[in-house]
C-alpha cells in the first residue's frame, strides 16, 4: 500500500546517497503546478567538500530514489570529486599556479 507523506513531514529529514554516504538534510521543496519539481538540500555531509563551499544544492525530484525515515538520492547524478579535481588541475595549469 502506498503511504502518502505531507511535505511538512519531509522537511528536515536526513539525506543519504544510494551508496550510504550522508549528504545533508532537506531544507525546502520546490513545487511546479502542484507537483514536486525539486528539493533544496542543505549539505552537511562529507560529500559537501567538493561543492566549492556551497551550503546547499537543488536536486531534481527524479534523482530521489526513496523518502521514508530518510531521503535517498542517486549518487550517480551528483558531480564527482574526481571531476572537480581535474577541473582544479586544469585551472592551475591555465594560470601557472
What pLDDT is recorded for position 75? 82
Mean pLDDT by runs of 10 across the 97 residues of the chain is: 82 91 92 92 72 78 92 79 42 42
Which CATH number describes the domain made up of 7-95?
2.30.30.240
What pLDDT is recorded for position 90? 38
* Pairwise CA distance, residues 26 & 13, whole Å: 6
Amino acid at each position: 500500500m502506498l503511504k502518502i507523506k505531507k511535505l511538512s513531514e519531509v522537511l528536515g529529514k536526513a539525506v543519504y546517497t544510494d551508496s550510504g554516504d550522508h549528504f545533508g538534510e532537506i531544507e525546502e521543496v520546490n513545487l511546479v503546478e502542484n507537483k514536486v519539481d525539486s528539493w533544496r538540500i542543505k549539505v552537511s555531509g562529507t560529500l559537501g567538500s567538493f561543492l566549492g563551499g556551497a551550503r546547499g544544492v537543488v536536486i531534481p525530484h527524479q534523482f530521489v530514489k526513496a523518502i521514508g525515515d530518510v531521503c535517498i538520492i542517486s549518487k550517480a547524478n551528483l558531480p564527482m570529486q574526481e571531476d572537480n579535481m581535474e577541473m582544479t588541475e586544469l585551472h592551475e595549469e591555465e594560470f601557472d599556479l
